[in-house]
Structure 1
Amino acid sequence: MEQKFSVRNATDAATAWAATPVGILVRVEVLVTVSCTLLATLVFFGSGRRTSRSGAFRFVVWLVLMLCYPAVSYTIGLIQSGSFRNDLVVVWACFLLGCADGIFSCSVDDSDQQSRAVLNQATQVIYVLLLLLSYVGSLPLQLKVLLLLLWVLNLAKLGMRLWSLLTARRDRVLTADNWLISNYMAHDHVRSVSDFDPETMRGYRYVVAGHKDVEEGCAEYKLELTDDLVTVERLWQHGDGGLLVSNKASSSSSSSSSKLKDLCLSFALFKLLRRRLGGSNSPMIHERDDIRTLVFARNGLAGGDDHERMFRVIETELGFLFDFFYARYPSPKQSLLPETVIFVASMALSLSTFFSPAMLRYRNPDHPGLSSTRFVATGIDIWLARFVIALFLVLELYQYLSLVLSDWHKVKMLCRYVCKPSWQGHPIMERLLWLMCRATLTTRYWSHSVGQYSLLHGCLRSNRSCVLARVPLHKWIKGVLTGMKTVSRKTLPVTVKRAIHRLLRSEWLSNLRYGDRTLQRYGMLQSFDWSTSTYTYGAVGSILVWHVATAICGARQPDDAAAGSHEVATTVSDYCAYLLYQAPELVTDKIYDARLLMGALQNKIQGFLALKDDGKQGCRSGEDMFHELSRLHSGDAELDGGGGYEKDILADGIRLGYQIFDEMPDEAVRWNMLSEMWVELLLSVAPSDNVSAHIKKLATGGELVTQLWALLTHGGMIAKPDKPEYTS
């Protein structure tokens, strides 16, 4: 009883102390420190979500974004309404307000709600103004002037953000700019194959920058080829100046000039890809009827022996798409002059405040020479003020460098270089541009990893996990925990990149048919076509059948001669199963059907591998599992009679696996066929109309299938292949 009263007394004492002026000041100092930490985390790690494989990291960034603005607003409000006086709280509030203007958002919905963010920032500006006015009589003159100028600077930032919101809204870009680019492409024709060359980009007049807006009052699009219009063809044929001239002594893919031109190519492709937001049937999409597109994908993007160049161009293009939806970079049409003026003013004001006499020779209010009746201090307030100013300096510098060294600004400067003859051949200007293009804060555009899920092994691991099976959890929670246990991510192997590159540059690219072309090349179409394009249960069923068959083939460790093909086949197979399990919206339009099928198939496999009715122990290892599958194939075991067509898919997968063993005894040939089969299957299901799903995945590490979706779009393959007209 006495212990209970002592705890209550301690709680009451702490509550009473927190309500005192000193307690409120301590709370403010803690909140300022927390707000600074949140703002720094958001600025430094806000764009890191697209390169991270960790769901925990992305959750932390999302949580920081959710807490950032409320924390800053609450802190400024508590300072403004606090029953104490301390001149340094004005410094905290002014510089904390300056730190709060980030350039990244966490989701498409967040970036769509910029008006709410502007309103929140405007409210904070008003709070800080009221706080300044209440302290205007006690602040030193120099500090008073600096803080008032800083408040004006924050007001200017708010005005710039509001102007950007009103003049460069994304919906305006997705309507007006897409309309301009689409009409430009509709007027850009070639008559024969001799009019274009994907190696030199002759005939590929894809717009990079400089296209004019429609004149007011004019409803008709007019194609105007002006000197300000920069196209891919113009960049590749640019011969003046040394910045964009390829060095013949080095490979075209590795020279710096080629990478600069590829950067502009990525931006032009980004503009074309952006039109996909209208769907594959949109009149804006002209790639399907353009004879240049397939040749461009096969001999342009995938041309040559360097597979990395193809992926680099597409990764950079998707980087622009990520920035378009999740950041506030100025477009190449906009100048960085306002941001530069704001940055210089911010640096000058913050440094002047940091080294002002009021900050350098600050004395605590309880000093004998000062009256402390109106002031409250803790001893760390001056150090906190210096920390907030230093953080403001660092964040402003980092965000300005993010703008200057962004790919958007590099494209703009390269286009200006092409349009201005005075810059070309100028050693100082070319050196500055070269240094700017070499420097970067973005080392990667996605996680460079692929999800891996093996249906058979995943069900086996789930059966061996007794804890999840016995704990009474909600179905959704249990599904998430099971996914965390059975799904993994691995670095995208180079062998997979090379296999994709090899197929994309081949003559088979225009005839992808869910694996039929691979079987035709190996003379196995008549034997296996029942499991590919003509399969009863569609493309999803075909993927699952071949996934089970590949797992059965992988029960035996291959020799060194087949190691590369084995890695490609198993990696892509497990990746396709992962997509059907956790991201079916990327590969099929029947999303709910795919989820139901995966769930039913998992239950069927788990039931088959579980404890038998006669008390016999179920499968506990991979060896036991494959032994039971062989018994099922030979007829010594059977599946239970319940369920739907998931039973047929499992039986067909087992049948296919052993049929491959029988008809392709050579291990190297077998794995070569499987690796090419899986690459063709992945490319066959990559075309999709669900653009929003791909955009959302860009913020969570990205997916390989998104890159293939973008690449195939530029090759004119907008929709999935139709089923063949022949019969076996």
Structure 2
Amino acid sequence: MRVLKECGDCVCAVPTCPPTTQHSSVEHVQQLWKEWEIQLLVLASFSLQVMLLFSAAFRKRHSSRVLSALLWLSYLSADSIAVFVLGRLAAHTSDPQHQLVLFWAPFLLLHLGGQDTITAFSMEDCMLWKRHLLNFTIQVALAIYIVRKQWHGGSQLVAPMVLMFISGTIKYAERIRALRRAGSRSSSFNAGGRHLASGLSRYYDGLLSIISEKKEENFEHVMDVTCGGFFMKFDFLMDVNPPFSGIDLQDLRIAIAERIHRFDDGASDLVYKIVEIQLSLVHDYLYTKFGRVTGVLHRLITLVLTSTALVLFLEARVDHQLQGLVNYSRADVTISYILLVGAVTMEISSTFMWSLLSYWPYMPIAYWRTFDYDKIFHCVPKGLHPGSRMEWSGKMKQYNMLDGCIQEIQAGRLERMMGSIGIKRDYTTHVVISPEVKKVLLVKLLEIKTNAPGGGGLSSSSFRGQWSQWWAALQTKDYLGAGQQSESAAQRALQLSNIQGLAFVSSVYLWHMVTDICLVADKTASASEFRSFSQALSNYMMYLVAKRNVMLDSCAYHVLHKSRHSLLCTRPAIVADRSAFLQKVYDGVYHGSRALDQAREVSLELLRPEGAAYRWELIATVWVDMLCYIARNCGAEFHAKHLITGGEFVSHIKIVLVVLGFSFHEYEEVELA
């Protein structure tokens, strides 16, 4: 018992465990965060600006979703962090050791001004330029309030602080101006009719001279002509004014038609390069600060101001003119140097990126010419061969309705559950646009431009397949003779497809299925360039309609939904063998929807033996007809939106039509048959 009692006493004598250190650790972290919160957030704001400067330029050349998501997060976080830090500085207590943090207020204005490579993440940001203007007023006033009320530091810091404040205000105001310019969707090409006609004449004279006279090796001359027609292309792309609206350019069109015959294989690349450069200029005009010819002056001003501020800060530090500098936190001094050196470095980098990555230095400005502007700025880009640099992704998205239905049927349970909550898999692929595709398209457009009545004028009021009907009639004359009255298989196929009366989206789906059926049922194993061209454009047009909702109203949506449902109902057949399913449709074994039956009838007509010589060229002509119609009518928002996601081929086609001199009429219709 005594032993037990002693043991019990020993047990009772054991001291209790000390309080856990977890609570003190949390308090320590909180104390550190409270002390260094502003410093860390300022460095985060600076890091985001560096990322935006060097990564935003890639988005017009790449369609990566990861890059787009990172840029979106960085773009939104950069403004939010800068505004938050300004608010924290307004409530900053007068701590002598951390007085230098108030010196950073102008740098936050500089960060809110954004980088030259990205002023807007999307067109929606441009439309909200008034909101940004209000924020600009509030943040500038807040920065003045912060410095005026709480600054008790050395007087020698006032000069660099004022210089950085001016630089930050200029950068921020320049961003607002760029947003307003892009949001207004207007350009400076607002000349009267007479001056507009003369400007167009000069543009086309220069354009046709570099194409027909083999001047593509003179890159500076190509750039002068290309940039000279920028605002006309911008107005047309943004649906401001058609380039030929209200202007009699009949003589000019005749000259274009005559001289355009001088095109050869090398001219195809030049035409697409001209369009590529002009769309790159549009991207810079809408989404960056590069799209202002006076922007270089602003960069020089801010560079001088920030460099001077850095020198003054260095002199004050080296000469020990800052009273009580030793009381400042060494970390705050280091961060101040990082911000100053970083600001100067980013201004220099922006200037080099403007001269090397943008085509705006080539914009023909008269008063710059007088100062040998060409010799100063053209020498560097010329050495880097900017003409060989891709300014967009060069890819074309592909979506096949039948393949999409098969993948949807074969989807797993997890994928279906995610689809039920709105997270759907994108059943699309992409192909690199080959030179052959570009050449076939350009050859077809030139054929229509030079041979069709009225120069192939387009009406945007409705789709009637005018070019396809004209081409089919032309083939009838060639194969049957001019005096024959009977119809060719091409004309009968167009009549069976009801290309004149069928709604546009319905025509796209019909010819999409016709193309798939002919690809399987055509046993000639032809390696025709029109065959691969038709397949690529068929899937691209279906992608635009079904995945990007281009030209998709409520009726068209019902058509696509019904067509997709009819394919899904054939679950066993299409999953077992896709080619066998299409062959059964062609053979008449399987009867599905009315659209599939109609596609079979058109395919039967096209696959007649007498149509072997031109069946794929007719299908290619139909797709060219549809592609040009959708390019003209899909809307400015679509073209502008996809300039920052690698670009869309249909946007390039819209500008190609202007380069080749096609006319567009809202209500007038030109009969081509």
State TM-score, norm by structure 2. Answer: 0.79
Whole-angstrom CA distance in 2 between matches of 1:659 and 1:14 = 81
Whole-angstrom CA distance in 2 between matches of 1:578 and 1:24 = 52
- Quote the residue 2:168 is aligned against: 154
Contact 1:515 1:680 in 2 (8 A): yes
Whole-angstrom CA distance in 2 between matches of 1:522 and 1:437 = 48
- Quote the residue 1:191 is aligned against: none
- Quote the residue 1:449 is aligned against: 395
- Name stretches of at least 5 consecutive residues in structure 2 with no aligned partner: 1-16, 457-464, 477-488
Whole-angstrom CA distance in 1 between matches of 2:566 and 2:503 = 20
Q: 1:11 to 1:566 in 2, by over 3 A?
A: farther
What is the SS of the residue equivalent to 2:632? coil
The counterpart of 1:595, out of the listed 551, 557, 567, is 557
- Quote the residue 2:121 is aligned against: 106
Q: C-alpha root-mean-square deviation of aligned residues, in Å? A: 4.2
Range with bigger deviation, 298-307 or 453-462:
298-307
Q: CA deviation at 1:26?
A: 2.8
Residue type at the aligned position of 1:77: G
Whole-angstrom CA distance in 2 between matches of 1:76 and 1:147 = 15
What is the SS of the residue equivalent to 1:105? coil
- 1:39 is aligned to 2:1: no
Contact 1:565 1:672 in 2 (8 A): yes
Residue type at the aligned position of 1:487: T
The counterpart of 2:655, out of the listed 690, 696, 710, is 710
Q: CA deviation at 1:133?
A: 4.1
Runs ≥4 in structure 1, deviation > 6 angstroms?
8-11, 233-237, 245-248, 359-363, 439-442, 556-561, 723-726
Contact 1:266 1:314 in 2 (8 A): no
- Quote the residue 2:101 is aligned against: 89
- Quote the residue 1:138 is aligned against: 153
Whole-angstrom CA distance in 2 between matches of 1:315 and 1:528 = 36
Contact 2:228 2:363 in 1 (8 A): no
Residue type at the aligned position of 2:344: L
Q: CA deviation at 1:703?
A: 1.4
Contact 2:210 2:216 in 1 (8 A): no
Q: 1:325 to 1:716 in 2, by over 3 A?
A: same
- Quote the residue 2:245 is aligned against: 285
Whole-angstrom CA distance in 2 between matches of 1:409 and 1:301 = 32
Residue type at the aligned position of 1:695: A
Q: CA deviation at 1:172?
A: 7.2
Contact 2:512 2:542 in 1 (8 A): yes
What is the SS of the residue equivalent to 1:450? strand
- Quote the residue 1:491 is aligned against: 432
Contact 1:686 1:720 in 2 (8 A): no
* Match runs of 1:116-265 below 5 Å: 116-133=131-148, 136-139=151-154, 141-158=155-172, 164=177, 169=181, 174=186, 177=188, 179-182=190-193, 184-185=195-196, 188=197, 205-206=199-200, 231-232=202-203, 251-265=214-228
Q: CA deviation at 1:535?
A: 5.4
The counterpart of 2:360, out of the listed 408, 425, 429, is 408
The counterpart of 1:504, out of the listed 440, 445, 448, is 445
The counterpart of 1:65, out of the listed 69, 75, 89, is 75
State TM-score, norm by structure 1. Answer: 0.73
Q: 1:370 to 1:174 in 2, by over 3 A?
A: closer
Whole-angstrom CA distance in 1 between matches of 2:108 and 2:579 = 62
Whole-angstrom CA distance in 1 between matches of 2:321 and 2:71 = 37
Whole-angstrom CA distance in 2 between matches of 1:247 and 1:271 = 22
- 1:656 is aligned to 2:666: no
Whole-angstrom CA distance in 1 between matches of 2:534 and 2:667 = 21
- Quote the residue 1:344 is aligned against: 304
Aligned residues: 620
What is the SS of the residue equivalent to 1:555? helix
- 1:620 is aligned to 2:575: yes
- 1:399 is aligned to 2:350: yes
Whole-angstrom CA distance in 1 between matches of 2:77 and 2:296 = 30
Q: CA deviation at 1:113?
A: 2.6
Whole-angstrom CA distance in 2 between matches of 1:246 and 1:527 = 42
Contact 1:548 1:650 in 2 (8 A): yes
Q: How far does the alpha carbon of each residue in 1:377-400 deviate from its partner, in whole angstroms, 9 at most, with x for none?
A: 5x7544443333332122212333
Q: 1:703 to 1:129 in 2, by over 3 A?
A: same
Contact 1:294 1:715 in 2 (8 A): no
Q: CA deviation at 1:487?
A: 0.9
> Is the radius of gyration larger for structure 1 or structure 2?
2
Q: CA deviation at 1:307?
A: 0.6
Greater share of residues in helix: 2
What is the SS of the residue equivalent to 2:277? helix
Contact 1:263 1:313 in 2 (8 A): yes
Q: How far does the alpha carbon of each residue in 1:50-77 deviate from its partner, in whole angstroms, 9 at most, with x for none?
A: 2221233223322322222111110222
Whole-angstrom CA distance in 2 between matches of 1:723 and 1:658 = 31
Whole-angstrom CA distance in 2 between matches of 1:43 and 1:709 = 30
Whole-angstrom CA distance in 2 between matches of 1:574 and 1:247 = 31
Q: How far does the alpha carbon of each residue in 1:154-199 deviate from its partner, in whole angstroms, 9 at most, with x for none?
A: 345456667x589x85677838x454255633xx4xxxxxxxxxxx
Q: CA deviation at 1:572?
A: 0.9
